[in-house]
Structure 1
């Protein structure tokens, strides 16, 4: 029993690393999603081209390869990252590419009448985006952002391949030491599910909260 308590503590330490990866990866993904998504809508060709190149590259290549590039190839270019930093970078850039299309689609879904109202109020392009378009579009983005966050959570398992002691890595350690597969992987299966449900619950709460007060705006 004492041995299994120690193994459980090991898995929980890995769960903390997984949670940190998820939070920081989601933060980077959110930033990149807005930069690239709004870049796709820019009036400037160079910005549109850069945003498109980023999105297509990270959507069109494997996160496994991206992770190995971040950790093993970047040092040859003078950029050395810790396993944790490489994991956050690869996860954030990969999921951010998918999120960028969510941002673009949500912004374009806002009705023409909203933009015309901004012109009538003499709002600048930035003011219209900041105070009228994005608050409504963000609410549309949330359900898909929730899915993206959960996908990022599950994708954190790949960081075990660069010896980052996340939850999957620790489960593999326990399996190697005990010869038991069911208990460690059954445990992390449950923990992944609890984490995913926590993300879903938080996103639903945030969606309800942001929806308050927007009903009137949508009818303008």
Structure 2
């Protein structure tokens, strides 16, 4: 099995796992992953995570579609991460709890997830909340570029989360951590939960090399 064949199969396997567990539904969500030659494998537009075909993933070279089905209309969203930070894969979902948290008026746009668990801090760092954009609007990519590579995870208001990782597994696992932390945030809202304190957060930042810039 070639590295490209394995990556194609991994994308479809992980996408189906997320679909089967209700992390995204219908034809929502998209994934991209970088090949060793710099080309991108991208899930097709209008495709369902539960029924992806490895052979039909789109291939992009320098932003140009060169093979496979037509790519997701949100390519600009993915490209912004590849252009601004070391990235091997990008995952975008329409996961329920993240979207719910994105529309609440007191959600902090600079750091929308409270430090409830150590793994939320370790896998995500600070998660930025971006404003609403129409799906497919290239301005979504501009908003991510405006973060200058300082965030590996964002949530688009009224839309859903986008996470970049060093490889496809890291991106998917971080995405799942984001959704679980959003769920915990909503479950404990109004209960004044005991969060990790500054010293505990800094301990994680130092030990695990977490990005925690302002």
Normalization by structure 2: what TM-score? 0.27
Name which structure has the greater RCO, CA cutoff 8 Å, separation 6+.
1
Question: If you compute each CA radius of gyration, which structure gives the higher value, 1 or 2?
Answer: 1
